A and B are shown apart, each in its own frame.
Chain A
Amino acid sequence: MLITKEMISINADLKNKDEVILHSAELMNTAGKLHDKAAYIQGVYDREAEISTNLGDGIAMPHARCAAVKEPGLTFIRLKEEIPWEGGDQPIKLVFGIAAPETGGDIHLRILATLARKLIYDDFKQKLFAIESEEELLQLISEATGGLE
């Protein structure tokens, strides 16, 4: 699965971007999505340096496509308190972490692309802010992308 309950962290008590990126990488790693956690984290920072993933409206999407990734993964973190995130005026409350392998995983990459497109729409974003459980989030993402598997 691209995302499971174990890859979701609602009301996470994290203080800054570094803690969020580390936490997301740990969720990915525990779920068996990575070959090399440290290299994946480096990939995420490299990507952030190229282009901020602060997407505005309180949402960030740190991601990396690199050899350290075994198979595509998606994490979701909703922070207890907003944190600053370079590259945008607004603080961040929701974080989608993405891990993509250098090759393969097309079905899951297609789901990620569909999800990314949904993030343009205010009604979808409002639903993300409002979910109350892991199950609700999985349901919402599944509906938005036409099914998770």
Chain B
Amino acid sequence: MKLVAVTACAAGVAHTYMAAEGIEKAAKERGHEIKVETQGTLGIDNKITKEDLVGVSAVILTKDIPIRERERFAGLKIFNVTSTACIVNGPKVIEAVENNCK
């Protein structure tokens, strides 16, 4: 599958980046293609563009705080998860996405 994800958290210091790495690692281990954008203290990194969304099966968004420019993902299948889930249970998040995209 082709996936995209955006992570953000209230402080924007640690969880944002750990969640990004956690979800990316888990997705790749399951053989998926994924691009992960971070919205933290460093601003928006690795921004997901219109082109990135072509052929995307699902969008994973952390729900700790509102995701900026969320309207980009209108019409796509969105999964709202906690940053903690991405950090501690990345594989489970990906598994849930797989099961819902069959």
A residues neighboring B (CB under 8 Å): 47, 50-53, 55-56, 61, 63-65, 87-88, 98, 100, 106, 109-110, 112-114, 116-121
Contact = CB atoms under 8 A, between A and B. Distances in A.
A51 B62 CA distance: 13
12 contacts: A51-B15, A51-B64, A56-B87, A61-B14, A63-B13, A98-B13, A100-B41, A109-B41, A113-B40, A116-B13, A120-B21, A120-B87
Contacts of A116: 13-15, 17-18, 21
A51 B12 CA distance: 12
Contact of A119 (B18, B64, B82, B90): B18
Interface residues of B, number: 25
Interface string B4-43: 0000011111111110111001000000000000101110
Contacts of A112: 13-14, 17
Of listed A64, A65, A109, A116, residue having the most chain B CB within 10 A: A116
